[in-house]
Amino acid sequence: MNKAELSAALAEKTGLSKMDAEKMVEAFVEIVTTTLKGGGEVTIAGFGSFLSKERAPRMGVNPQNPSIKVQIPGMRVPKFKAGVNLKKALK
């Protein structure tokens, strides 16, 4: 399901217009992104948590020349941790 399909399903489920549903999806994405950039966490009870984690720097290999080692810098990466209800629903 892509963003447009999610907006359409949300509009159908809630009775909102497609335009309002698209605005809701855009707002949700923007809020989660901004919160994760600031180092915060977004938790939706029963569904899961969006968080950012620090990935440590490490040594890698140049895929074009495997004999050359490359230093890969550390960075923050987004993570999603599924909640109990979501895990149960998928079993």
Can you give the chain as a three-state secondary structure string? Answer: CCHHHHHHHHHHHHCCCHHHHHHHHHHHHHHHHHHHHCCCEEEECCCEEEEEEEECCEEEECCCCCCCEEEECCEEEEEEEECHHHHHHCC
pLDDT band at residue 40 using 50, 70 and 90 as cut-offs: very high
Query: Does CATH place domain 3-84 in 3.30.460.30?
Result: no
pTM for this model (two decimals): 0.79
Domain layout of the chain by residue ranges: 3-84
Say what the pLDDT of residue 35 is: 95
pLDDT in tens, 47-76: 999 999 999 999 999 999 989 999 999 999
